Amino acid sequence: MLSAAQPLTPQQITDLQQCAAKAAHNAYAPYSHFRVGAAVLLSDSTIVTGCNVENASYRLTTCAEQNAITSAVAQHGPAIRIRAIAIANLNSAASQPCGACRQTIHEFSTPDTVIYFPNADGSFSHATIAELLPAAFLLNK
């Protein structure tokens, strides 16, 4: 098995992005019409997906990334580590993870965790979670 620090191959990145795009088709987004999918690649090479699920009480909306990560924990347990996460939307728009999702990704990340996200022109960019959330909240009590 590849170590966590091993870069993903182009094929693995494409596979993960396609899983995210497929998951976006399940989005429940009758309010924003912004359909998002996320695919999480775990350190054991398992892929778990999620989509956004909105609510008439708007603030109860669950983002695709949070949906994927909570599903990953539910299916694989609390020790999961995220090797990479791909985000897609069906709106041909740029979509980086929101602040709350960055904190959720951080909770299960390693220093090498990479996020792949779409740009407005259809290309993808990537960044580490440390780059996207350089000052994550840590519970020190």
- Positions annotated as catalytic residues are 65
Cα–Cα dist 119/26, whole Å: 21
Residue 49 engages ligand THU in binding (rule: CB under 6 A)? no
Residue 63 engages ligand THU in binding (rule: CB under 6 A)? yes
Cα–Cα dist 85/120, whole Å: 18
Cα–Cα dist 50/135, whole Å: 26
Residue 65 engages ligand THU in binding (rule: CB under 6 A)? yes
Q: Which stretch binds ligand THU (CB under 6 A): 5-13, 26-34, 40-48, 105-113?
A: 26-34
130 φ, ψ (degrees, to nearest 5): -65, -35
* Binding interface with ligand THU (CB under 6 A): 29, 32, 34, 36, 52, 54, 61, 63-65, 97-98, 101
